Amino acid sequence: MKMMLHFMAVASTWLMLSATAQATDVEISALFNGKVMLSINRGNPRVLSVGQTSPEGVKLLSANSAGATLEIDGKKQTIGLGQSISTAQVSGSNTSIKLEADGGGHFQTYGSINGRPVRFLVDTGATWIAFSTAQAQALGINLDRAQRGAVTTASGVVRSYRVVLDNVKVGDISLNLVEAAVIDNMPGDVALLGNSFLSRLQMKREGTVLTLTKTY
């Protein structure tokens, strides 16, 4: 009996070590159009071109100055410059949050943009996350190099800026490199949680409850 228990303990330890050994760690150190410099499992930096696969099985799907989309252990991951990801972080069960509708039937929640707190209003009709220039200033977002455009609002045509947010987090759901529109004179202090975030999740509504699920 003691020998069997000892064998089971050793086998359990071996399985845990095997699972750890199979995790793949990737860190981005430089970005180019169509290429990326990265380190895999803390090894020496190397350059991958779009379509190329490393000996560890990491494939570069796309890359530009904003970030790189990689296929890691069969899962698509998008990360930015100086960021890292481990498949050990994304191999568990899917992450979900539940939102309760307010008295007007809207779903509001608190989250963060680039690590700073924000109140969101879920808006499935919005193409991107959207917030005001005042909020952008409060969030430390520099608009000097942002792509400029215009949007039509209830107040008429106003100037807008297209930006890519490093990180957006709602509950335990965290996404990197999310497109957003910054809009001049946008009223209120609530950011619209649009489809640049929502389209990367599964959404399910049951009565007054909206469930958002991140799948990997």
pLDDT tens-digit series, residues 85-102: 666 544 445 688 888 888
Assign 20 a pLDDT band (cuts: 50, 70, 90).
very low
pLDDT over 90 percentage in the chain: 38
Of the candidates 83, 79, 82, the residue with the CA atom closest to the CA atom of residue 178 = 79
| Tokens read off for 112 | 């963060």
Pick from 13-22, 103-112, 134-143: least confident? 13-22
Q: Is the pLDDT of residue 21 over 70?
A: no
pLDDT at residue number 179:
94
Domains and CATH numbers, the chain: 2-86 (no CATH), 95-214 (2.40.70.10)
Between vectors from CA 190 to CA 120 and to CA 94, what angle results, nearest 5°? 5
Close Cβ partners of 104 (under 8 Å, ≥ 6 residues apart)? none
Q: Are strands 147-153 and 108-113 parallel, antiparallel or unpaired?
A: unpaired
Averaged pLDDT score across all residues of the chain? 81
Q: What confidence tens digit (pLDDT) does each residue in 130-181 have?
A: 999 999 999 999 998 888 988 877 677 889 999 999 999 988 789 999 999 9
Q: Decide if pLDDT at 14 tops 80.
A: no
Residue 11 has what pLDDT? Answer: 35
d(CA 110, CA 98): 12
Q: Which two tokens stand for residue 92?
A: 């568990």
